[in-house]
Amino acid sequence: MAALELINHQELSGTSTTMTYTSIPSTYKHLYFVASTKTDSSSGNINMGVRFYTGSSSEVSSGYSGRFFKIGGYLGSSTPTGAAQTSQAQWSLIYEMGDNLSQPTFTSTEFLIANYNTSNYKQMLSYGTGTGNSVSSGQYNVNQGAHLNTTTAAITGLKLMSIYGSFVQYSTLTIYGLNGA
């Protein structure tokens, strides 16, 4: 039976462009992260990225690839769209809702990194959603992604980044270790 164990929870007391945790133990099989974020950007939907750390807090800033699919968004598209990314400086996770939308809510993003402490390439699955106060005007999104990084070192930390603007007060990042299946 699989069991989640809390590793770290952080909540911002002000604004910040990143949320970082660099003391992930190697005692779990998988890592599961949950983020609740909102930014102060006036750009509408914006990218959020993830980088990880290996060894003694060495930030990995290359070799990130992935595919993601989304529906909805600031422009109101109800047609699913997708994109591929190769050789990037971080994983792109989700489009967030910026402050220019009509009373946007916090986005909810979940991601799983399987076998994070092995010598295999690192794989991540992501899922996220966010909304303003009017679904009819396109103020919503649902995203899924599959991601890969070519490093073979164990992950020891995580950095969540707002690509445009800053995360606002009360944004959270919660990290769990997962053992079992």
**pTM across the whole model:** 0.86
SS (H, E, C) 113-133: EECCCCCCCEEEEEEEEEECC
Contacts of 58 (CB under 8 A, 6+ apart): none
With contact defined as beta carbons under 8 Å apart, do 144 and 127 qualify? yes
> How many domains does the chain contain in total?
1
User: What is residue 119's predicted lDDT score, i.e. its pLDDT?
Assistant: 94
Span 116-131, average pLDDT: 89
Dihedral angle over CA of 74, 76, 78, 81, nearest 10: -40
Displacement of CA 13 from its chain's centroid (Å): 20
Residue 91 sits in a domain whose CATH number is 2.60.120
Interatomic CA distance for residues 98 and 166, integer angstroms: 10
pLDDT (average), residues 32-40: 89
Rounded Cα distance between 68 and 84, Å, is 7
Confidence of residue 7 (pLDDT cuts 50, 70, 90): very high
Q: Is pLDDT of 154 > 70?
A: yes
> SS3 for 64?
strand
Average pLDDT over residues 113-135: 84
- Structural domain boundaries, residue 107: 3-179
Give per-residue burial for 101-116: e unless 16+ CB within 10 Å, then b: beebbbbebbbbbeeb
Q: How confident is the model over 59-110, as pLDDT tens digits? A: 999 999 998 887 765 555 567 777 788 888 888 775 555 555 555 678 888 9
Q: pLDDT value at position 176? A: 97
Q: Which of 137-141, 147-151, 163-167 has the largest mean confidence?
A: 147-151
Reported in sequence order, the residue ranges of 23-132 that DSSP labels E, i.e. its strands, are 30-37, 45-54, 58-59, 64-72, 81-88, 91-97, 107-114, 122-131
